[in-house]
Amino acid sequence: MQSTNLQKDKLDLIERIIHTEDQSILDFIKSVLNDEALEYQLSDEQKLILEEATEKYYSGEEPSFTWEEVKINARKSFNEKKS
């Protein structure tokens, strides 16, 4: 048996779908329910930026940090701005 909140959410969504006039919203809902992967294409400029960043990373030209180092640096920066 489903919870009351789940049933209410479903009915609310059904009502919103019935009243929508936007085909793109319906297409999006359909793709989500069909588990279709949403396609996203990078622009040529975005691909170039990504390739350059990857090259710099692998060549050691750009520094990399562990997650712990990122957190420490973020906390330091935050505390410096608070002061």
SS3 readout for 36-75: CCCCCCCCHHHHHHHHHHHHHHHHCCCCCCCHHHHHHHHH
Q: List the structure tokens of 71.
A: 């957190």
Task: Note down the domain range covering 26.
Answer: 4-33
pLDDT score at 43: 92
Q: Which of 74, 77, 56, 54 is nearest to 66 (CA)?
A: 74
Shared-domain flag, residues 29 and 48: no
How far is the C-alpha of 44 from the C-alpha of 53, rounded, in Å? 14
Shared-domain flag, residues 28 and 49: no
Shared-domain flag, residues 48 and 77: yes
| Tens digit of each residue's pLDDT (9 = 90 or more) over 8-58 | 999 999 999 999 999 999 988 888 888 755 567 889 999 999 999 999 989
Shared-domain flag, residues 52 and 78: yes
Mean pLDDT for 49-78 is: 92
pTM of the model: 0.39
Which has the higher per-residue pLDDT, 63 or 9?
9
Q: How many domains does the chain have?
A: 2
Within 13 Å of residue 54, how many CA atoms lie on the same side as its CB?
6
